[in-house]
A and B are shown apart, each in its own frame.
Chain A
Amino acid sequence: MSANNVTNVLIVGVGGQGIILASDVLSKVAGRVGHEVKKNEIHGMAQRGGSVSSHVRFGKTVSSPIIKAGEADVLLSFEQLETIRYWPYLSAKGKVIVNDHKILPPAVFTGQQEYPPDILQQIKECVPDAVFVKGDDVAGKIGNPRVVNVILLGVLSKYLDMPGEAYEEVLKESLKPKLVDINLKAFRQGRSLG
Chain B
Amino acid sequence: MTETKDADVRFLMGNEAIGRGAIEAGCSVAAAYPGTPSSEILESLVRWKKELNHPIYVEWSINEKVAFEVAYGASLAGARSLAAMKMVGLNVASDPYLSAAYLGVRGGLVVAVADDPGPHSSQTEQDSRFFAWFAKTPVLDPGTPAEALRMTLRAFEISEKYEVPALLRPCLRVCHARQNVPISAPLPIAGVGPFKKDWTRWAAIPKFRLILHRKLNEKLSEMVRAEPECRPRLISEASGGPVAIITSGSVSSHVRDVAASDERLAQVDVYKVDMPYPVDAAALQEIVDSHEKTLFVEETYPVLELHVQDRRKVLGRMTGHVPPQGELLPDLVEDIMLSGLGAPTVAKPAPQIKARRPSLCPGCPHRPAFYTIKKVFEHAIYSGDIGCYTLGVNMGVVDTCLCMGASIGMAGGLARAPQGQSEHPVVATIGDSTFFHAGIPALINAVHTKAPFVLVIMDNAVTAMTGGQPTPANDYLADGSPGVGVDMEKLIQGCGVESIEVVDPYDHQALQETLERARRHTFDDGKGVSVVIARRPCVRMPNVEMPEERYEIGEECDLCMSCTRDLECPAFQYIKDDKQMVIDEDLCAGCGFCVQVCPSQAIKAKGSAHA
Contacts and interface: CB of A to CB of B under 8 A. Distances in A.
A48 B359 contact: yes
Contact of A85 (B348, B353, B388, B391): B353
Interface in B529-566: 561, 564-565
A162 interface: no
B351 A85 contact: yes
Given A39-B177, A40-B173, A86-B351, A64 B357 contact: no
Contacts, number: 151
The size class of the interface chain B forms with chain A is 35 or more
A31 B176 contact: no
Interface in B4-62: 11, 13, 36-37, 39-40
Contact of B330 (A43, A50, A66): A66
A137 to B, nearest CB: 13
Contacts of B40: 43
Interface in A52-101: 62-70, 81-82, 84-88
Contact of B177 (A3, A65, A110): A65
A185 interface: no
A44 B120 contact: yes
A15 B13 CA distance: 19
B476 interface: no
Interface stretch (B68-76, B194-202, B209-217, B253-261): B253-261
Interface stretch (B238-246, B318-326, B570-578): B570-578
A41 B145 CA distance: 13
Contact of B256 (A42, A63, A86, A105): A63
Contacts of A85: 351, 353, 356
A69 B572 CA distance: 35
A126 interface: no
B465 interface: yes
Nearest to A61: B260
B353 A109 contact: no
B269 interface: no
B224 interface: no
A154 to B, nearest CB: 21
Interface string B349-393: 111011111111100000000000000000000000000100100
A36 B351 contact: no
Contacts of B459: none
B177 to A, nearest CB: 4
B11 A31 contact: yes
A66 B329 contact: yes
Given A66-B173, A88-B348, A105 B178 contact: no
A191 B254 CA distance: 33
Nearest to A2: B261
B176 A105 contact: no
A64 B255 CA distance: 8
Interface of B: 2, 11, 13, 36-37, 39-40, 120-121, 144, 173, 176-180, 253-254, 256-258, 260-262, 329-331, 334, 348-351, 353-361, 388, 391, 394, 465-467, 561, 564-565, 568, 570, 572-574, 586
26 contacts: A2-B261, A4-B257, A4-B261, A39-B178, A40-B173, A42-B176, A43-B36, A43-B39, A43-B121, A44-B36, A46-B120, A46-B358, A50-B358, A63-B257, A64-B256, A65-B179, A68-B331, A68-B334, A81-B353, A82-B356, A84-B351, A85-B356, A105-B356, A105-B357, A107-B354, A110-B574
Interface of A: 2-4, 14-15, 24, 27-28, 31, 36-51, 62-70, 81-82, 84-88, 104-107, 109-111, 113, 145, 173
Nearest 6 pairs of A and B residues by beta carbon = A44-B36, A3-B261, A44-B121, A65-B177, A48-B358, A50-B358
